[in-house]
Amino acid sequence: MLRIINGEVYDPINNINGEVREICIDDGRIVASVNGGRTIDAAGMVVMPGGVDMHCHIAGPKVNTARKMRPEDHRLDPVPRTSITRSGVGKTVPSTFATGYRYAAMGYTTAFDAAVPPLAARHAHEEFSDTPVIDKGFFVLMGNNEFIMQQIAAGEHERLRHYVAWLLNATRGYAVKLVNPGGVELWKFRGNAQTIDDEISGFGVTPRQIIVSLAEASMELHLPHPVHIHCNNLGIAGNWQATLETMKALDGRRGHLAHVQFHSYGGRPGGLFTSRVPELAEYVNTHTNLTVDIGQVLFGETTSLTGDGPLAYMLHQISGRKWANVDVENEEGCGIVPIEYKDKNYVHTTQWAIGLEWFLLVRDPWRIALSTDHPNGASFVAYPQIIRLLMDREYRREILKTVNPKAITKTTLLDQDREYSLFEIAIITRAGPARLLGLNSKGHLGIGADADVTIYDKQEDKEEMFSNPRYVIKEGEVLVEDGHIRKETYGQTLFVAPRFDPAVEKEIREYFDKYYTIEFENYPVQDNYLPRPQEVEVK
Amino acid sequence: MARLKLITGRSTKQGTGISIGKECAGYREAISFVELNQSDMARLGLSNGDQVRLSTQFGAAEVKCCSAEIPVGLAFMAFGPVCNRLIGGETYASGMPDSKHVDVEVHSIDHGPSGSGSGSGSQSKSFPQILDPDSDPDPDPDLRNDEK
Amino acid sequence: MQFDHVVCAFCGCDCDDISVVVEGDRIIQAKNACVLGKAWFLNHGKPSDLPVARIEGRPAGLQEGIEEAARCLCSVRYPLIYGLSSTSCEAQRQSVALAELLGGCIDCCTSVCHGPSGMALQAVGEPTCTLGEIKNRADLVIYWGSNPGESHPRHMARYAVTAKGMFIRRGRKDRTVVLVDVRRTSSAAAADIFLQIQPGKDFEALWALQALANGEKLDEAGLAGIGLTLDQLTALAERMMHCKFGVLFLGQGLTQTRGKHFNTSAAFLLVRALYQHTKFALIPMRGHGNVAGIDNVLGWQTGYPFGVNFSLGYPRFSPGEYTAVDVLSRGEADAALIVASDPVSSLPARAARRLSEIPTIALDTHESETTRIAQVAITTATAGIHAEGTVYRMDNIPLRLRKVLPSSYPSDEEVLSRLLARVKELKAC
């Protein structure tokens, strides 16, 4: 039992904007009142629901290959063990224990890995079992799935839908994820997709068809989160068109566009980037079926790790830095390259500015989420830096003076006066993502909500404020207090289990026999891998 | 005597022997013979099944020899405690010892260095006496010793 | 009773289509298994009369064995935990926790097998794929320094050579197979082209191929001693550049010979250079059934794949410093916990000898040279036969191990978890 009194509460889902209110917790949930237990006096503090990260890369084969590839990064940030916590390494691709502790230390209590290949779902779950504190789940890569492409080509939409449901059950995943749909399949013979109407040779379908079919299937299955799309052509000058085409192709169907900053570039390939955020943001503003997360770039060294194999190769060709590529049979792929964003570099400054433009130009904060596509744009531990840039116009202007000036003039950033309020920050870092994910008991502090609560000292310097919460409460227990972890717990794994027609297994099994190298029976993730499973109902 | 390069590696019999049990005859045999090129054997006056003494700067072992399709100048032994007597513990900051491409001297036992009769009994002792100081010359330098 | 779709965890192929027939208290058949797999199932799948624990050779109870092991590990300054390649990930995770708590080193068979491949990943990255990509797409298959016929008997049939796939409909007929080795092994019979390279010249050959892939001109004089002529290298480079999808399988012929991680880096860079022309991948031929597993567990828990030290309370990595052969050969380790491995047999004699000079605790399913010299030996159940768990195939695909027979012995996971708990108690005092 716990009571939090005298704090300024920001609970946008329940329309609470800074009122001083009492929050009562019992048995892991928010309740109307409690008798007894601890009382936290939060006078002078801000109380919010725990943070929800809806797009990051923290578990699975891609992340682990990146870890194994980056010893030089690890050495910069060792994480010693304590009597309560395990040791590890931090920086851009932290080890699993450190990942959980650092999210917690920042007041985030839920995170979703954005891209897991189904064949390695078990691996992601194993890593999750070693990721403390946070509730977690992952999106299942399907945009280059060969079985799906075959069904699209054959016009078998119903079978496709049953397969999608079967796959979500088999992987204990949460949502349908597309990464460079069709492009990664072409990459397996050294090609790529540039537009959504390119033909995927060998299958006779286009990215457009993949996008529409899977958006449709996600809606038909009533999944809590819509199809989550990393558009074709990420990172290339001129790619805003593929992004716009993707949005248009959805044609009113619900869809979430991931790390949209990386997909907002004008100019021509090989030429200089410009920002096309105004056009894209206006489209998002006027089409309420669409939501985005930003994928903000911050200056400094990080690691690019993505399901977009050809993109990673391109980054390697530009920078010459070491490069890993892993193609996964029948399903997906990934690429990994260390990357440094430099504040005097034209392209990097443009990317940084574009992310901020998105934040400042989209009118409805409920439809955008704060993300850096961790670690592609920056580490998740840098979210407070973004919060400060959004809330503090003067600080933003200071930083604008230090970046590449020519790049800034090609964006609208100099004209942007808007400052985010605490209420809006609470939306884009917890309430909004929780809603976008369809997690009804997260991201708010109403009666019955999960008792995941973060309490911050109210400070002028918002980066300082959001970096060092005073208290972080998870499932009603105070886990972090005054910067120290008091207790180590493990959160739940959130997954969906939509129904499917078992008859579809016959075709899937035949497909396995021909093209996979493991048995159909050995593919689904067993119960053992989810020590704390939490099914999220599909309606 | 011949100076050859020793390669160590997996073999099917060594692999099955791991499961069957390393005391079993099949495994002991699998890891206790060296494959040599026919002309290297002829040079040493060896026939299939003859005993030879292999020695490197790290240690020595007595094994049977047999001819195999292997280039002149190479010798092959399956992984195991016998060939490991011939491999040193220095990894040159790689973690990996030199398990392949090791300089080895091959002596026919009948014409081998005198006084090696003590070694020839090793096959008849209980297996494998790698830790018996009497049968292990171990010229390997003390890798911690600053004086060396 | 028959169990289907069972994983054989002996070698890095981790074939999961084995049908195991159990009769009474033993396995009598392992259908589909190769000779190595059959030996594994049939020999591990039969009753044993070993005592569950031995302390200095004398039979003891499990609790007593664990107590003695805990007492021993808590009384030293620099313990080494080693092995781990033939047990489940669940046991591996306990081992890492124990190494961290003890402040010692943890290393696995990787350091004497494909550590150099892991080091190449760190140096230059790694263009790779899962085995199904080979089955479905590869029209050029190269084994370099590998003898799959003897080390991974089903590799060629199941994944790489005769297997038919989506874009390789005729299997063997649609492929060209090349074997590069210092000697003509039995695997060469399956190859279209056998290239005999001089021992210790792999780096030079791989570097020359990279140069050719980069469009550079080479002269014959510069290739002296490699054992391959300019024509042979040029022909191979042409095949590699003009195939549709090529794969380079790397064996210990590269990792264990002169050059080691330079050889593997050269191979990785060659494959990267080939991307200028076509699609190519490399896959290290991981030997043990779950060596990829311990690499992955160490990777996600510590950031490093092998040779990890916890003396400062956080993980540090340094091959040559914290790797088993070095830590033992230099006499630094003052105790050892060996899990599912027989280093007294498999490590160089100098390192092996250290294990009998220091208190050694050994967990194994059978008697071995290591259990024979161990201060405390604990007999454990075989993961994949008597105990469930997770393994990772050579291409990092995770699979679930089944339990097809009961056992009176505890699993490695159970023993290590109890050992960890006891060590925690002792350290808290």
**Tens digits of residue pLDDT in C363-387:** 999 999 999 999 999 999 999 999 9
d(C-alpha C93, C-alpha C91), whole Å? 5
Q: What residues are paired with C314 via a beta bridge?
A: none
If we measure between CA atoms, which residue out of C72, C89, C91 comes closest to residue C80?
A: C72
Chain B residue with Cα closest to C227: B71
- Contact predicate C317/C308, CB 8 Å: yes
Q: Quick check: B121 pLDDT over 60? A: no
Q: Would you say residue B142 lies in a domain?
A: no
Q: CB under 8 Å to A156, separation ≥6 — which residues?
A: none
Q: How far is CA A339 from CA A299, A304, A314, A323, in A?
A: 10, 6, 12, 10
> Long-range contacts made by residues A406-410, C-beta under 8 angstroms, separation at least 24?
A406/A346, A407/A273, A407/A346, A407/A347, A407/A349, A407/A350, A407/A353, A408/A349, A408/A353, A410/A272, A410/A273, A410/A274, A410/A275, A410/A350
Please compute, for residue A407, the number of CA atoms within 13 A of its CA located in the half-sphere on the CB side: 21
Three-class DSSP category at C297: helix
Q: Would you say residue B148 lies in a domain?
A: no
Q: Does A488 touch chain C (CB under 8 A)?
A: no
Amino acid at A203: F
Number of domains chain B is built from: 1
If we measure between CA atoms, which residue out of B42, B49, B51 comes closest to residue B110?
A: B51
Q: Would you say residue B140 lies in a domain?
A: no
Amino acid at C387: A
Handedness of CA A262, A266, A267, A268 (dihedral sign): positive
Give percent helix, percent strand, percent coil of chain B, each to the nearest 5: 25, 25, 50
**Domains located in chain C, CATH noted:** 51-113+289-384+405-428 (3.40.50.740), 115-284 (3.40.228.10)
Select the residue from C155, C314, C391, C420 to test the A interface by mutation, using most A Cβ atoms within 10 A: C314
Q: How far is A72 from chain C (nearest CA, A)?
A: 9
* Count of helices and strands (H, E) across chain A: 19, 26
d(C-alpha A465, C-alpha A384), whole Å? 8
Q: Concatenate the DSSP letters of all residues of B3-27 into one string.
A: EEEEEEE--HHHHHHHHH-TTSHHH
Q: CB under 8 Å to C247, separation ≥6 — which residues?
A: C129, C134, C138, C140, C141, C142, C160, C280, C281, C282, C283
Q: Concatenate the DSSP letters of all residues of B60-94 into one string.
A: EEEEEEEE-S--TTEEEEESSTTGGGGS-S--TTS
Q: pLDDT digits over B31-68, tens only?
A: 899 999 999 999 999 999 999 999 999 999 999 999 99
Q: CB under 8 Å to C59, separation ≥6 — which residues?
A: C51, C53
Lookup result for tokens 């691709």: A93
At B72, which CATH number? Answer: 2.40.40.20
Mean pLDDT, chain C, rounded, equals 97
Amino acid at C50: L
Q: Quick check: B29 pLDDT over 90? A: no
Average pLDDT of the segment spanning C295-301: 98
Amino acid at C211: A
Specify the length of chain B in residues: 148
- Contact predicate A93/A63, CB 8 Å: yes
How many C-beta atoms lie closer than 10 Å to residue B126's C-beta?
Answer: 6
pLDDT score for B110: 67
d(C-alpha A442, C-alpha A430), whole Å? 8
Q: CB under 8 Å to C238, separation ≥6 — which residues?
A: none
Q: Would you say residue B34 lies in a domain?
A: yes
Lookup result for tokens 């081992």: C95
Please compute, for residue A392, the number of CA atoms within 13 A of its CA located in the half-sphere on the CB side: 19
pLDDT score for B114: 44
Which of A67, A80, A97 is opposite residue C299, by nearest beta carbon? A67
Instruction: Find residues 35-54 of chain B whose CB sits inside 8 Å of chain C.
Output: none
Q: Show the low-confidence residues of chain A (pLDDT under 50).
A: none
* Subunits in contact with chain B (3 or more CB pairs closer than 8 Å): C
Q: How far is C307 from chain B (nearest CA, A)?
A: 8
- Contact predicate A131/A64, CB 8 Å: no
Residues of B with CB below 8 A from C43's CB?
19-21
pTM: 0.95
- Contact predicate A391/A420, CB 8 Å: yes
pLDDT score for B144: 37
The band of C171, judged by pLDDT with boundaries at 50, 70 and 90, is: very high
Kindly determine whether residue A93 and residue C7, on different chains, have CB atoms separated by under 8 Å.
no
How many C-beta atoms lie closer than 10 Å to residue B69's C-beta?
Answer: 12
Q: pLDDT digits over A439-476, tens only?
A: 999 999 999 999 999 999 999 999 999 999 999 999 99
d(C-alpha C303, C-alpha C315), whole Å? 8
Q: B89-103: buried (b, 16+ CB within 10 Å) or exposed (e) per residue?
A: bbbeebbbbbbbbbe
d(C-alpha A232, C-alpha A207), whole Å? 8
If we measure between CA atoms, which residue out of A161, A88, A77, B99 comes closest to residue C97?
A: A88
Q: Would you say residue B6 lies in a domain?
A: yes
Q: Would you say residue B127 lies in a domain?
A: yes
Handedness of CA A103, A109, A114, A115 (dihedral sign): positive
Pairing of strands A175-179, A227-230: parallel
Q: pLDDT digits over A28-67, tens only?
A: 999 999 999 999 999 999 999 999 999 999 999 999 999 9
Give me the domain span that covers residue B120. 2-135
d(C-alpha A397, C-alpha A417), whole Å? 10
Q: Would you say residue B8 lies in a domain?
A: yes
Residues of C with CB below 8 A from A74's CB?
303-304, 315, 317
Which of B70, B80, B99 is opposite residue C256, by nearest beta carbon? B99
d(C-alpha C237, C-alpha C405), whole Å? 50
d(C-alpha A453, C-alpha A480), whole Å? 11
Select the residue from C124, C317, C397 to test the A interface by mutation, using most A Cβ atoms within 10 A: C397
